[in-house]
Amino acid sequence: MKISNTHKEFADLLNNPRALEYPEDFLGPNWKDVLNFWIYLDTLSDDQWSIIESLHVELGYPKWNEGNLNGRQEYWHVVANSAYKTIREYAGYAALAASGDYHWTAASDATYELIGSHKLKEQGKPLTFLPLFNYQPSL
């Protein structure tokens, strides 16, 4: 199995090497999509990151985090309930560390979304952040 920079960082943050060999135990039912996305992050150029971050800002970040967008709390409730809070936060922090300081918000938001994508799909809610990357998961 290929291991991305984000996956390595995730295992380091958890201080648990099992996260490298058994990611399904840590990332939930969408673990394969999360790992493939993290591998994809390693391929992005600085120009691609700039475009992604611009698109993320257009969505309303940082207003999104300030609670100024309709449905934010409901949306994140669905995503957050799909994974243990600590694992979800470490996954986001790993995306932060691997993608660079000003890119992390888009990468971590897309990671959170992937972790909870099965819940979003069940409720008929669209993915919001992952499409910024033009990445197609196997959902």
Q: What is the pLDDT of residues 44-98, one digit of tens each?
A: 888 888 888 888 877 765 444 455 444 555 555 555 555 545 565 666 666 666 6
Whether residue 98 lies inside any domain: the answer is yes
pTM of the model: 0.76
- Summarised one tens digit per residue, pLDDT across range 1-46 is 799 988 998 888 888 899 999 999 888 889 999 999 999 999 988 8
Whether residue 138 lies inside any domain: the answer is no
The whole-angstrom separation of Cα 25 and Cα 6 is 17
Number of domains in the chain: 1
> Which domain, by its residues, includes 95?
5-21+29-133
Whether residue 10 lies inside any domain: the answer is yes
Least confident of 8-17, 94-103, 115-124: 94-103
* Residue 63 host element (H or E): none
* DSSP state for residue 64 in the 8-state scheme: T
